Each structure stands twice: as structure tokens, then as C-alpha cells.
Amino acid sequence: MRLVNKWGVRDRTLPSSISESRKLPTEEADNGVQPSDGLPCDSIHDTTGKKIISWEPNDKENPYNWSNRRKLFINITCMMTVTNSTMGSSLPSMAIPFMTREWGVTSDTQKVLPISTYLIGYVFGPLLWGPLSEHIGRRNLTTAALSLFTLWTLGCALSPNWSSFLIFRFLCGTFGSAPIAIVTGQLADIYEDSVSRGRALSFYFAWVALIYAGATLIPVVLFLPETYAPVLLTRRAQKLRKVDPTAQVYAAFELEEKGVNQVITKVLTRPIRMILTETIVTATCLYLALVYAIFYISFAAFPIVFQELYGLSPGVTGLLFLPIFGGVLISLVIFSAWGTFLRKSQERNRPWTKKEEYRRVPLAAIGGPIFAVSLFWLGFSAKIDVHYAVPSLAGIGFGIGFQLIFIGMLNYLTDAYEIFAASANAAASSARSFLAVVLPLATTPMFAQLGISGALGLLGGLSLLLSAIPFIFLWKGERIRAGSAFCIALKERKLEMQRKAEEEMGKRDGTTTIGGDSQEEKEVA
């Protein structure tokens, strides 16, 4: 029988023949092999006599059980770090004409580079930060990346020429992309309940640079705690060994291979393998990449529509982005209403609430068609004999659709992959950033060749086509997840945790028998 003390230590040793056969769910999923028992331990060698600690039910140090006040602080701090990235990506857009004039830059392609080079950093950065946060923890990585982001932002401000400015913009994008990949993992760390996690993510998605980055760095360095459970368990085991040097108490995370080869072949390649092998990740990346690229195309499209066609000034054109912000606010109202409806339905035990896909994907299913219609609206209403207010109102639908698509799809990624959420979101971030680099370069030629209605009609048609993806998830998502190695590993892990909780309750009631353990554990006992 397995005994567990108040520290969560399993009071039994692991014979090497048993311990060598067990692998972490992460490792199993990475290798495409279904885990045999879901126990959270990696390939362990020479571990005879070592005791493995894990969380106990209602463990106060488990991030899931932290106070709401502490979770709220983490959520707000994470939102601040993400705002650095989202602000930084488009911050120079209205200043580009002045910078290019000062440095003598005349090429139209060159004028797009301040945003494109930042987004190139977005392509490569998440592939590094997401999986690394699952390997070494979230906090230190966030602190280091944000510190360097602040330094590179200062470099942009002090750049003596165009080339150095672009280099610093690339570095800003690379290090500024860290929160995009890490934050979803942090929220998955602290919110076990999908509704609470979804609400937190919605605020995360709702939207100078140097000052703000420096101000954000202060709470990150001083107050942001580590949220990654394996790292926290490692610290607990280290404390136990410090108190009793003879204790052979370890966290499973400590016993994993952490060599350079392991990091390169398994950890850092995880987002790429998820794009290539996970249908949910592949489809989500494709859809979000298009939507994200269209968002950045709008920075070049709006001047074409409202300055060249209607003859408005740059200042007035900038104000016409406000309807998009209004649409974002409306989307948050829709999200809140959906969350209330979902919660009430769960309390009434409606069968549909048991399905993973019906928690957040319906939001994307609503937002997709709205987003596509907004593009058609802008494209076909932008005519010299139609007042500019009419096409500008398309921004409301644009903001609603954009926000609901991102809330729905990225929430689904987080819910579906949980401990792998950072890698899944890193894959999505890199994919959409890649397309956001490429498509805006074609904006001016596309509008010149197809005209305003033709170019926006093409983008609207593509958006409408891919808006079928959320509906496919609602229809076949459960079957898709059933064939996913990563989702299988998560399911096994949850079953193990549930079994542990039931055993612990049985011990407290004095009803636990050896029959509660698996056959393998009976043999060990």
C-alpha cells in the first residue's frame, strides 16, 4: 500500500526495474506513446531508495489552490507583460514616415520593416520561450526576457541609424514574444477550472514602450512567483533534503534528463512537432495566422482607404481605428455573457457542458463569420460617394470577430493541452507571426492590382473559408483529441490524480485497502 505524508512524499522506494519503466506524460506524448500509468515521473535511472513527492489533495502550495487575490495579481502582472509585446509590435507605425524622412529611406519595402522585423522576432522567439518554460519554469525566464526586452527598447530609442534601429526592433520582437508563449502556461498553472481560466485569458487578450517596459519589470522581478508545479515540487524536495541530508526525497522533475541533447531534441522541438502532428494545433495555427496577418495588413490598408481614397489626414485616419477598440469591448461583454450561461449550464449538469469543445470554441464560431463580414463591409462600402463613416464602422465587427476568434481558439488550445499549453501557444504564436511578416509586404501591390474591394474581398473570402474550423472542432473535436498523444497523456495524468485523491479520502475514513493500488504498485508493496 502506498503511504503519503503531509509533504506529499510517497513512503516507498522505487526498485530500479520499476522506475526505469516509467516516463513523464510529457516524454510519452513527445514520443507518441500512450503512458502506461500516468505517473508523473520520467525515465529514472539509479533511483533505488529515492522517494518521489507530488501534490496532495487541497495542498496549499499547489498553484491551483492559491488564493484568488494571489491569482488576480499574477493575472494582472501577466497582462502587463503581454501589453509590452502588443504595444511594441505596432508602436512605430504612425512614426515611420518621420523616421524614414530623417534617415533618407525611400523604399516602400523598407518602410514596412520596423513592424516586420519585430514580427520576425515573434516567429522565432516563442519556439524558444514556450518549451523552455516547461523545462526550467516560468518566472526566471520571464524576468530575463523582459529585462532584455527593456534593454533592446532603449537601443531602439538611441539608434544612430536605420540599420541599427531594425536590428534592435528584431531583438525587441524576439524577447518581447516571451510573454505571448509563457503567459498561457502560467494561467493554466494556476487555474484548474476551465471557466476561471477562460475568464483570465479573456482579460489577457483585451488590449512609451520603454517606460512601460521598465515599470512592468518591477512587479515581475519583486513579486511574480513561480507557478510551474514541477519546479515548485523540486524546491520542496530540496528543502526536505536540506532539513534532513540523509533523506532520499526527490521531485520527479529532478530525475528527468536535462542534458543539451534532451533540450534540443525533445523540449525545443515540441512546438514544431505539435504543428506537424497535432490536428488541433495545425488547424488553429492556420486560422489564427490568417486573422493575425489581416490585423497587421489593416495598418497599411487603412491609409490606402481613408487617406488615398477619402483624402483624410493621418490624424483622422488614426482615429478611425477606434471602432475596432469598441468592437473589442463588445466582445468582452459577449464573452462575459457566455461565461455566465456556461456556468449556469454546468450547475444544471447539462450534458453538452461535459464536452471540452463547447466551453470556448462557440465564441470562435460566432466571431469567425462576423470577422469575414467586416472585411466585406469595409471593402464594398469604401467608395468616394459613400461617407467614410460607413466603412469605418466595419471596425466594430472587425474588433468583435478578431477578439472572439482569439479568445475561443487559444482558450481551446490551453484547455486541450494544459501543461503543454505553453508549447501549443508558442506554435500558434510563431505561425501567425510568420504570416504577419509575409502578407503585409504584399499589401500595397495587392491593393494596386485588385483594388480596395477586390483585395478586401479576397481576404474576407479566405477568412470565411477558415471560419469553418471552429465548427469542425465542435463536430469532431472529441474524436481528434482521442487520437492525440499529448491529450492521452493528460487524460492519464488526471486519472492518476483522481485516484490519488480517492485513496487519500479512503485513508482518512479508514477504508483504504491494497486493492486501491494498481497491480504494479501491489507488487512493489
**Residue-level pLDDT at 210:** 47
Task: Answer whether residue 167 is part of any domain.
Answer: yes
Residue 391 — pLDDT band, cuts 50, 70, 90?
Answer: very high
Instruction: Say yes or no: 430 and 294 in one domain.
Output: yes
| Per-residue model confidence as pLDDT tens digits over 307-365 | 889 988 877 887 888 899 899 889 989 988 998 898 899 889 888 888 888 888 999 99
CA 370 to chain CA mean position, Å: 23
All three cell numbers of 479, joined, read: 474524436
Residue 46 — pLDDT band, cuts 50, 70, 90?
Answer: very low
Domain that holds residue 508: 16-54+229-266+490-513
**Residue-level pLDDT at 122:** 82
Task: Answer whether residue 63 is part of any domain.
Answer: no
Backbone angles phi, psi at 256, to 5 degrees: -75, 155
Place of cell 523604399: 107
Place of cell 505571448: 180
pLDDT at 375 over 90: yes
Q: How many domains does the chain have?
A: 3
| Per-residue model confidence as pLDDT tens digits over 282-292 | 999 999 999 98
Task: Answer whether residue 5 is part of any domain.
Answer: no
Instruction: Say yes or no: 291 and 190 in one domain.
Output: no
**Residue-level pLDDT at 216:** 61
pLDDT at 208 over 50: no
What are the distances in angstroms from CA 279 to CA 124, 187, 215? 21, 23, 40
Average pLDDT over residues 379-386: 93
Q: Quick check: 415 and 477 in contact, CB under 8 A? A: no
What are the distances in angstroms from CA 280 to CA 68, 134, 284? 31, 20, 6
Q: In this structure, what CATH number is given to the domain that contains residue 333?
A: 1.20.1250.20
Q: Quick check: 30 and 208 in contact, CB under 8 A? A: no
Task: Answer whether residue 523 is part of any domain.
Answer: no
**Residue-level pLDDT at 508:** 58
The alpha helices in 43-177, defined as continuous H runs, are 68-90, 96-103, 108-136, 139-157, 162-176
Instruction: Say yes or no: 222 and 247 in one domain.
Output: no
Is the sign of the CA dihedral 345, 347, 349, 351 positive or negative? positive
Instruction: Say yes or no: 453 and 467 in one domain.
Output: yes
Instruction: Say yes or no: 427 and 290 in one domain.
Output: yes
**Residue-level pLDDT at 374:** 97
H/E stretch holding 31: none
pLDDT at 253 over 70: yes
Residue 250, strand partner residues = 52
Average pLDDT over residues 256-274: 74
**Residue-level pLDDT at 363:** 95
Percent of the chain at pLDDT > 70 equals 78
Q: Quick check: 74 and 190 in contact, CB under 8 A? A: yes
Instruction: Say yes or no: 425 and 508 in one domain.
Output: no
Task: Answer whether residue 30 is part of any domain.
Answer: yes
Residue 368 — pLDDT band, cuts 50, 70, 90?
Answer: very high
Instruction: Say yes or no: 223 and 234 in one domain.
Output: no
Identity of the highest mean pLDDT range in 53-57, 306-310, 495-499: 306-310
Percent of the chain at pLDDT > 90 equals 24
H/E stretch holding 52: strand 51-53
**Residue-level pLDDT at 27:** 44
Place of cell 514602450: 209
Instruction: Say yes or no: 282 and 389 in one domain.
Output: yes
Residue 513 — pLDDT band, cuts 50, 70, 90?
Answer: very low
Looking at per-residue pLDDT, the higher value among 89 and 249 belongs to 249
**Residue-level pLDDT at 206:** 53
| Per-residue model confidence as pLDDT tens digits over 2-42 | 444 444 444 444 433 333 333 444 444 454 433 333 333 33
**Residue-level pLDDT at 158:** 87
pLDDT at 166 over 50: yes
All three cell numbers of 404, joined, read: 472572439
Task: Answer whether residue 220 is part of any domain.
Answer: yes
**Residue-level pLDDT at 372:** 97
Instruction: Say yes or no: 234 and 221 in one domain.
Output: no
**Residue-level pLDDT at 259:** 67
H/E stretch holding 15: none
**Residue-level pLDDT at 376:** 97
Task: Answer whether residue 1 is part of any domain.
Answer: no
CA distance 399 to 334: 12
* Closest by Cα among 407, 313, 305, 327 to 364: 407
All three cell numbers of 93, joined, read: 507605425
**Residue-level pLDDT at 411:** 86
pLDDT at 109 over 50: yes
Weakest mean pLDDT among 48-62, 139-153, 333-347, 406-420:
48-62
**Residue-level pLDDT at 247:** 82
What is the average pLDDT value for the chain, to the nearest integer? 79
**Residue-level pLDDT at 217:** 64
Looking at per-residue pLDDT, the higher value among 92 and 259 belongs to 92
Instruction: Say yes or no: 348 and 384 in one domain.
Output: yes
| Per-residue model confidence as pLDDT tens digits over 414-458 | 888 877 777 887 888 788 878 877 877 788 889 989 999 999 999
**Residue-level pLDDT at 490:** 76
**Residue-level pLDDT at 360:** 87
Instruction: Say yes or no: 310 and 251 in one domain.
Output: no
**Residue-level pLDDT at 12:** 41
**Residue-level pLDDT at 509:** 63
**Residue-level pLDDT at 133:** 87
Residue 488 — pLDDT band, cuts 50, 70, 90?
Answer: confident
Looking at per-residue pLDDT, the higher value among 136 and 197 belongs to 136
Average pLDDT over residues 477-500: 79
**Residue-level pLDDT at 49:** 67
Task: Answer whether residue 83 is part of any domain.
Answer: yes
Instruction: Say yes or no: 100 and 119 in one domain.
Output: yes
**Residue-level pLDDT at 469:** 96
Buried b (16+ CB within 10 A) or exposed e, 147-169: bbbbebbbbbeebeebeebbebb
* Closest by Cα among 150, 149, 178, 155 to 168: 155
pLDDT at 201 over 80: no
Is the sign of the CA dihedral 114, 119, 120, 121 positive or negative? positive
CA distance 400 to 388: 20
